[in-house]
């Protein structure tokens, strides 16, 4: 073959491209298990941070195996629910077979279509249950997401963690980088009386008496608006489940001999029997 001909050039170039593509495909296949393991460990570390088991910085120093073990050791159950808050399936929590519902982009679309399959991760920390759920939405430049941790009866938020794909450093990226922003969520609650607008991120500062609102980040209006929308979208989708949890806890307290004799330790002082229930002060 004439090496100076156009035919030779085309054939040679095609062969090189095919070989390069094959090498890249083989490399991608070989690296995929490692990439999947890294994604799983990163997702779990975000949940563990929201639930208060460790800081994200400390978790980042651990290997994937240690993160998976911490998850498996501390989770009680993980399951899926539908739009009515009913359980539809279990997620495996054994350390070698951990299952996550981590394609939040797809579930965000399913929420809009009215047919979500939403994950709930129930951890046990210091003897108390912590319910962790995800949120997902659009920031200024790309996707934003996070995990919100509630107490046992979903009456109070105990922690949060947020991440993003490409928000502006020093501005929108502060949803991940600034601990003060995440810490605002601790002790807050969802406004069950307003399912359509159950939580707010307020530009200029949240009212002191509003327990379902936090301060926005100065200079990051679009990112905060996106996170606000994401929280309300996902809280609305989880609302039937959250309300059932909160309603069940309230019923258990009220059922303790009418509530007046409940001592708070599961025993009624004026009755000759004990009740296992969650007691709330105030």
Q: Which residue, among 250, 147, 134, 232, has the nearest Cα to 191 in the 3D structure?
A: 232
Domain boundaries, the chain: 38-257
Q: What is the pLDDT of residue 30?
A: 73
Q: What is the pLDDT of residue 11?
A: 81
Residue with tokens 């009624």: 268
Q: What is the pLDDT of residue 31?
A: 60
The CA–CA distances, whole Å, from 64 to 41, 48, 91, 95, 181 equal: 5, 13, 19, 11, 27
Q: Which residue, among 23, 59, 22, has the nearest Cα to 43 in the 3D structure?
A: 59
Q: What is the pLDDT of residue 24?
A: 78
Q: Could you tell me where the beta strands, DSSP code E, fall in the chain?
A: 75-81, 87-90, 118-125, 128-138, 143-150, 157-164, 200-202, 213-215
Token duo for residue 86: 């009913």
Q: What is the pLDDT of residue 247?
A: 78
Report the distance separating Cα 240 and Cα 235, nearest Å. Answer: 9
Distance of CA 45 to the CA centre of its chain: 11
pLDDT, tens digit only, all 282 positions of the chain = 667 777 777 788 888 888 888 887 787 677 666 667 889 999 999 999 999 999 999 999 999 999 999 999 999 999 999 999 999 999 999 999 999 998 999 999 999 999 999 999 999 999 999 999 999 999 999 999 999 999 999 999 999 999 999 999 999 999 999 999 999 999 999 999 999 999 999 999 999 999 999 999 999 999 999 999 999 999 999 999 999 998 765 555 444 444 444 444 444 444 444 434 343 333
Q: What is the pLDDT of residues 169-179, one digit of tens each?
A: 999 999 999 99
Report the distance separating Cα 116 and Cα 102, nearest Å. Answer: 13
Residue 265, burial from CB neighbour count under 10 angstroms (0-12, 13-18, 19+): exposed
Q: What is the pLDDT of residue 122?
A: 98
């Amino acid at each position: 073959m004439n090496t100076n001909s156009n035919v030779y050039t085309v054939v040679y170039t095609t062969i090189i491209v095919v070989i390069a593509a094959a090498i890249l495909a083989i490399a991608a296949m070989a690296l995929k298990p490692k990439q999947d393991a890294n994604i799983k460990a990163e997702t779990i570390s975000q949940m563990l941070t929201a639930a208060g088991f460790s800081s994200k910085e400390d978790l980042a120093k651990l290997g994937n195996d240690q993160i998976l073990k911490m998850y498996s050791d501390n989770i009680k159950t993980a399951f899926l629910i539908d739009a009515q808050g009913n359980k539809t399936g279990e997620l495996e929590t054994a350390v070698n077979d951990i299952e996550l519902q981590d394609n939040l982009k797809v579930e965000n679309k399913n929420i809009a279509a009215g047919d979500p399959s939403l994950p709930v991760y129930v951890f046990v920390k210091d003897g108390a249950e912590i319910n962790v759920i995800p949120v997902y939405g659009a920031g200024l430049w790309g996707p934003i997401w996070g995990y919100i941790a509630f107490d046992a009866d979903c009456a109070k938020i105990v922690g949060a963690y947020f991440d993003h794909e490409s928000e502006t450093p020093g501005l929108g990226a502060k949803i991940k980088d600034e601990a003060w922003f995440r810490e605002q969520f601790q002790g807050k609650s969802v406004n069950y009386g307003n399912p359509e607008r159950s939580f707010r991120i307020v530009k200029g500062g949240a009212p002191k008496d509003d327990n379902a609102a936090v301060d926005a980040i100065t200079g990051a209006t679009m990112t905060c608006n996106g996170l606000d929308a994401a929280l309300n979208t996902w809280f609305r989708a989880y609302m039937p489940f959250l309300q059932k949890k909160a309603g069940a806890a309230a019923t258990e307290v009220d059922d303790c001999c009418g509530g007046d004799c409940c001592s708070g330790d599961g025993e009624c002082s004026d009755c000759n029997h004990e009740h296992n229930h969650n007691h709330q002060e105030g």
